[in-house]
Chain A
Amino acid sequence: AQSVTQLGSHVSVSEGALVLLRCNYSSSVPPYLFWYVQYPNQGLQLLLKYTTGATLVKGINGFEAEFKKSETSFHLTKPSAHMSDAAEYFCAVNLNNNDMRFGAGTRLTVKP
């Protein structure tokens, strides 16, 4: 069963525009949630993670994500896109047993 769904395999924004990458999870218990980023020709690196408590999580490079239990969502946002943000973004869920599953990824393109 799919545990993580990322809506939109490809998102294109203009430089300076809002970035919104969507992630929904399916779990009967609150999972641990992560966003990873993969820059061209590089490995995956952690962008941010959700811990219990604060639902708004801030990560590196100005990105943040909000955990909404009622919507089973963990969307990633950035107020103003930069050319260097062009990359593949993966949402991931740890189903409380260290079984980490990833979404299909969203490729972000930033237009000048």
Chain B
Amino acid sequence: GAGVSQSPSNKVTEKGKDVELRCDPISGHTALYWYRQSLGQGLEFLIYFQGNSAPDKSGLPSDRFSAERTGGSVSTLTIQRTQQEDSAVYLCASSLSRDYNSPLHFGNGTRLTVT
């Protein structure tokens, strides 16, 4: 079956522009995560959606970052007024929520470059 799909795979934008990154999770997965991976760095947690519950936004680095998940499926991560330090690979992952032992399934990420 289809895995987690992210689009675009690469995005180059000018400083100050807004960008939207999309994630299509695996069908039936109610948990969805966004992470950021900077060059040479680990995975930085950004935001977590669990079914219809309020998302855990504790990892968002600033108010320029926001995310939504429509209909419990597709998610969009929006970065407003992009800065050069936003350049990174943004990873989306999904999992089955009813099993805490369920691993995450990752997409291939969106590589964002802010010039």
Residues of A within 8 A of B (CB): 6, 32, 34, 36, 42-46, 49, 51, 90, 92, 94, 96-105
Contact = CB atoms under 8 A, between A and B. Distances in A.
Contacts of B108: 42-43
Interface in B29-55: 31, 33, 35, 41-43, 45, 48, 50
B56 interface: yes
Contacts of A97: 100
Nearest to A100: B104
B109 interface: yes
Q: Is the interface of B mostly helix, strand, loop or mixed?
A: strand
A96 B100 contact: yes
Given A96-B100, A100-B48, A105-B43, 17 more contacts: A32-B100, A42-B108, A44-B43, A44-B91, A44-B93, A45-B106, A46-B103, A51-B101, A97-B100, A98-B48, A98-B50, A98-B95, A100-B45, A101-B45, A102-B43, A103-B42, A104-B41
B13 interface: no
B5 to A, nearest CB: 11
Interface in B79-96: 91, 93, 95
Contacts, number: 55
A100 B44 CA distance: 11
Q: Is the interface of A mostly helix, strand, loop or mixed?
A: strand
Given A104-B42, A105-B43, A98 B97 contact: yes
A36 B37 CA distance: 14
Nearest to B89: A43
A94 B99 CA distance: 11
Contacts of B107: 43
Contacts of A43: 91, 106-109
Contacts of A98: 31, 48, 50, 95, 97, 100
